[in-house]
Amino acid sequence: MQLVEKSGGLGLVGASASLRLARPRQAVSRRTWLARAAGVTSFAMLGGCVRGTGNSGLRLATFRADVTVPPGHGMMGGAWLSKTVVDPLEAHGFVLTGCGAPIVFVSVDWCEIRNDAYQRWQEVLASATGTTPERVMVSTIHQHDAPVADLAGERILRERGLTGTICDPAFHEITVQRVGAAARASLRDARPVTHWGMGRAKVAGVASNRRYVMPEGQVRFDRTSATRNAFAIEAEEGLIDPWLRTLSFWDGDVPLVASSFYAVHPMSYYGQGEVSADFPGIARRQRAEATPGVAQIYVSGCSGNVTAGKYNTGARENRPVLAERLRVAMAAAWAETVRVPVTTCAFRVVPLVLEPRASKGFTEQDLKAALNPATKPFDQCLAAMGLSWRERVAAGRPVGVPCLDLGGAALLVLPGETYVDYQIWAQAQRPADFLCVAGYGDGATGYVPTERHWAENDTNLGDWCWVAPGSEPRLQAAIRAALGVSSRA
């Protein structure tokens, strides 16, 4: 089967079916949407942003590397240690050249990469590909049977001789160098990029919001990745983004890479020391087998408050079921893909300054007090990660919000466990365009809730949230700047 460009979209050679793009929810006709997607407007960069220029001569290389942790490594930030490997962890990415300095995007089968560890990934991949660190976009898929990387947090633990361990710095350096080597080697096989592609499909029976309402009206936030609570299962899905979006790059009618974005916590079961890429890893590998020669990248969207809990009890047999539902949507989005000629390319990165949380348990004094041998190892790790964030803020290093902008499509990366509310809000800023949002960029922030969630006393914010209330307007301003909304008005 071959995809070919035709009026109004693509057709299938040797098949009776024709491709179509599912109508966006906004009141915009498909013709208008595609016309805007193929527009040639060049966007002015905002002050302080990185400028990317060049409307032709794009080339793309794809890479992958193993990032599996060894036995005894901290998992989910030190909550437990790895014992066995069920399936390997991988990093999948691409290097895009011809849009100013090279742009790198990589999606990693790790829980989070935070603070100086994130900076190290940017430095190594930038050196490997001949670009600058701020043009390296790193996103983790956020599986919990996988590690968190926070080098400063680990240093804090080791300086005090504590038993808690977040990550192994030596393993981290070996791994990031391996990924960098793969990115460097991929440049030899870079292919021209003539088109980008967009396709989307709804995912059925996977995502649900943590927030649900009890029959008597009580608001609860305990719909976790695995849920046996009958009320949580029976309640409505709540606020989710039901669409899986696949952004692809093409050399003529030859597809080079398909990056699929979907917002859900990527866990079926976890916590037994079994290293695994979980159901997204299964779906990604199945799609790779079905599309030889096309690099398959899976990316978690903003899903700090979205889990599979409504559809998952944590039973082991549910993992392949969730994987199949995700695979079906990935295949459907691919079948719906429409190619658009590349006419413009820009890159922006906007600095985001967020304040450290100062409520009880999160002050510098409280965090340091938790760093003692009597504290449980995981609580030691949580305190160390909180102090790592505070060190970073004190050093004046903001979080980057980067965006690769192709005119009618864009790839935006947001930090940490940003709530899905921000993803939906970001899409509304450019409703006629194909916006793919990656969550779990720099994981330093932990959860980034909205002000409404603070007001409703979201119980998930008892830990793993290191930013203060008031982050919402700052993040929204950074999103608008990264999307170039003001220059498009």
Q: Which of 4-13, 207-216, 426-435, 475-484 has the lowest mean pLDDT?
A: 4-13
Q: Residue 162 contacts by C-beta under 8 Å, 6 or more apart in sequence? A: 371, 372, 373, 377, 380
- d(CA 463, CA 24) in angstroms, rounded, equals 36
* Model pTM score: 0.89
- d(CA 93, CA 110) in angstroms, rounded, equals 14
Q: Is the pLDDT of residue 48 over 50?
A: no
Q: Is the pLDDT of residue 40 over 90?
A: no
Q: Taking residues 73-89, report their average pLDDT.
A: 98
The dihedral through the CA atoms of 422, 123, 444, 398 has a sign that is negative
More confident residue, 54 or 406: 406
Per-residue pLDDT band for 469 (boundaries 50, 70, 90) equals: very high
User: Can you give the pLDDT at residue 2?
Assistant: 34
The predicted-structure confidence for 160-194, as pLDDT tens digits, reads as follows: 999 999 999 999 999 999 999 999 999 999 999 99
User: Can you give the pLDDT at residue 301?
Assistant: 98
More confident residue, 489 or 321: 321
Residue 384: exposure state from Cβ atoms within 10 A (0-12, 13-18, ≥19): buried
Q: Is the pLDDT of residue 55 over 80?
A: no
In the DSSP assignment, the letter for residue 462 is G
Domain residue spans of the chain: 18-353+395-488
Q: Which of 11-20, 195-204, 246-255, 302-311 has the lowest mean pLDDT?
A: 11-20
The mean of the pLDDT values for the chain is 90
Cα 57 from chain centroid?
A: 28
More confident residue, 489 or 409: 409
Q: Phi/psi zone of residue 119: left (φ > 0), alpha (ψ -120 to 50 degrees), beta?
A: alpha
- d(CA 146, CA 271) in angstroms, rounded, equals 10
User: Can you give the pLDDT at residue 486?
Assistant: 74
The predicted-structure confidence for 323-371, as pLDDT tens digits, reads as follows: 999 999 999 999 999 999 999 999 999 999 999 999 999 999 999 999 9
User: Can you give the pLDDT at residue 140?
Assistant: 98
**What is the residue-wise DSSP string for 339-365?**
EEE----EEEEEEE--PBP-STT-SHH
Structure tokens, 235: 């309640």
Task: Judge whether 51 and 103 are in contact, CB under 8 Å.
Answer: no
- By C-alpha distance, which of 102, 69, 81 is closest to 171? 69
Q: Is the pLDDT of residue 9 over 90?
A: no
Q: Taking residues 41-65, report their average pLDDT.
A: 57
Q: Is the pLDDT of residue 15 over 60?
A: no
Which residue's structure tokens are 């820009």?
A: 346
Q: Is the pLDDT of residue 17 over 60?
A: no
Per-residue pLDDT band for 14 (boundaries 50, 70, 90) equals: very low
More confident residue, 412 or 35: 412
Per-residue pLDDT band for 206 (boundaries 50, 70, 90) equals: very high
Q: Is the pLDDT of residue 250 over 70?
A: yes
**What is the residue-wise DSSP string for 403-448?**
EEE-SSEEEEE--TEE-HHHHHHHHHHSTTSEEEEE--SBGGGBEE
Structure tokens, 125: 């991949």
**Pairing of the two strands 417-418 and 447-448:** parallel
Q: Residue 296 contacts by C-beta under 8 Å, 6 or more apart in sequence? A: 92, 257, 258, 260, 284, 285, 287, 288, 330
